Amino acid sequence: MIRTALFLVVSALLTGVPKGLCAQQPTSPNIVFILADDLGWSSLSMPMDKTDPRSASDYHETPNLDRLATGGMRFSRTYAPASICSPSRRSILFGHTPARQGDESFGANYQPTAGNYPTLPQVLKNSNSRYQTAHFGKWDMRAGFSPEDAGYDESDGDTGNKNGNFAIEGTDKWTDYFITGDPKRANTLAARAANFMTRQAKAGTPFFLQISHYATHIEKQTTAESYKKYQKKPRGKKHDDPAFAGMLEDLDRSIGAVLDTLERLGIAQNTYVFFMADNGATEFMPAVRNRLDHPSKFPKPMRNYPLRGGKWTLYEGGIRVPFLVMGPGIEAGSQCDAPIVGWDLLATFAELAGGNPASSNLDTDGGSFVSMLRGETGKPVARTNNALIFHRYNDGYPHSAVINGDYKLLKFWKSGKVELYNLKEDRGETHNIADKNPGKVKELEAEMTAYFRKVNPELLTRYQ
């Protein structure tokens, strides 16, 4: 069995915390936001949609994420801001769409020290100046500023993505795997989180903690015990990699340690825990070059099945992600089917912290979904733009997507091809109905064009 000094530190932190340490809890709730890397919508051992058993994994086991869903609310239709890491994280930090933020221009326009746009920790502190904020784990803004520059009180610094990987030359990240006692630093992050939460509980201070995991980004790292477990387990049809499954269970165990710490500190009843992925999983391992092809072109189900595609694309498999929330006033075991997107988080966290979304004049593309957490799941999120509009910056296959109601349109800029899907009837995006619905195509294209013209008109001429 592999054991490390770090694992022992984690154990000491998690078992040595007196229950009910915080005698007088702050009135404002604590918020813990856990962000996973490259994790598909149907990767958990419980379904992301109770009505669709295909939305669960046929191989992975995630008991602690299941615990979040059982104790709180699962969202069946949540979208990451982008289909790759950096633009998703940028969007969450500022509450703007990646289309608005730009790609190469982001670093020049969104330096937090310039004060052009408020960041998530700055907005929370404006709502309640007593909040202490921390960011641990993967940063990956690729824009030359650190978490402290963005307003966090504590962090691991500008970690990029490299600190989660061994990055050993000559290895194949898709097929090779590494046995370690601290896979993807999951134990380190649990220890960092426990230390921060314990100090805030002692002080009676409300806190916001973002734990940005390096898992389950390739390369594959797992413990010996987890790998042996999945080696022996019968493989699934869409999930069949024992090293990846072990890495996911190691991540899940780290999340369970955070939940246990909240219980031991006696602050769980005053803490919201959010779990989300920054984008979907890769469609296959190894990844394929023809990822835009119809699912029928491949000999086996994609890893995000029943969704189409994966990371790097704006098909549902690339942007629809697992999303779970547990906390005060949230009905245990409930489900919300309303569309939520990552740029809604800033406004939501601000309202939970005590801000008034109606009078705050937040400069954000998103809206608060606090009312949904309180059971009003039929009430739509109030955003400045009703449609959800995505853009994938990519010289090879740049494309955009707009979702409004049940309909989704994708536009591929170099070919001019458009695809239209009814997501209510065709979640897997297998039946392109653009030719049969020219009016709907025209309507959604006009909505997309109007938004780009408003926030980033360069996108309309970039690929011509």
Angstrom distances, CA of residue 96 to CA of 165, 251, 323, 455:
29, 28, 19, 10
The continuous run of DSSP H or E covering 419 comes out as: strand 418-422
Question: Greatest CA span in the chain, whole angstroms?
Answer: 64
Q: Distance between alpha carbon 70 and the CA centroid of its chain, in Å?
A: 19
**pLDDT string in tens for the chain (464-residue length):** 333 334 434 444 444 444 444 444 557 999 999 999 999 999 999 999 999 999 999 999 999 999 999 999 999 999 999 999 999 999 999 999 999 999 999 999 999 988 889 999 999 999 999 999 999 999 999 999 999 999 999 999 999 876 677 666 678 889 999 999 999 999 999 999 999 999 999 999 999 999 999 999 999 999 999 999 999 999 999 999 999 999 999 999 999 999 999 999 999 999 999 999 999 999 999 999 999 999 999 999 999 999 999 999 999 999 999 999 999 999 999 999 999 999 999 999 999 999 876 655 678 999 999 999 999 988 889 998 889 999 999 889 999 999 999 999 999 999 999 999 999 999 999 999 999 999 999 999 999 999 999 999 999 999 87
* Cα angle value 392/364/390 (rounded, 5°): 15
Any bridge partners for residue 324, and if so which?
74, 275
The DSSP 8-state label assigned to residue 163 in this structure reads G
> Other C-beta atoms within 10 Å of 253: how many?
18
* Angle of CA points 324, 174, 136, to nearest 5°: 40
Specify the residue for token string 């009180």: 153
pTM of the model: 0.93
Q: What is the pLDDT of residue 179?
A: 96
Question: CA of 452: how far to CAs of 51, 395, 427, 446, 456, in Å?
Answer: 36, 18, 26, 10, 5
Neighbour count for residue 24 (Cβ, 10 Å): 6
Contact 150, 217 (CB under 8 A): no
Distance CA 55, CA 52 (A): 6
Query: Residues 351, 90: contact at Cβ < 8 Å?
Result: no
The pair phi, psi for residue 242, each rounded to 5°, is: -65, -35
Instruction: Give CA angle at 235 (232, 241), nearest 5°.
Output: 85
Q: Can you give the length of the chain in residues?
A: 464
Helix, strand, coil in percent for the chain, rounding step 5: 35, 15, 50
**Rounded distance, CA 69 to CA 48, Å?**
9
Beta partners for residue 419, in sequence order = 410
**Tokens at residue 92, please?**
């969450």
Interior/surface letters 345-358, b for 16+ CB within 10 angstroms, e for the rest? bbbbbbbbbbbebe
CB 72 within 8 A of CB 79: no
Give the C-alpha separation, 379 to 86, whole Å: 31
Dihedral (Cα; 308, 310, 312, 316), 10-degree rounding: 50
Angle at 69 between CA 91 and CA 357, to 5 degrees: 40
Are residues 245 and 303 in contact, defined by beta-carbon separation less than 8 angstroms? no
CB-CB neighbours of 120 under 10 Å:
23
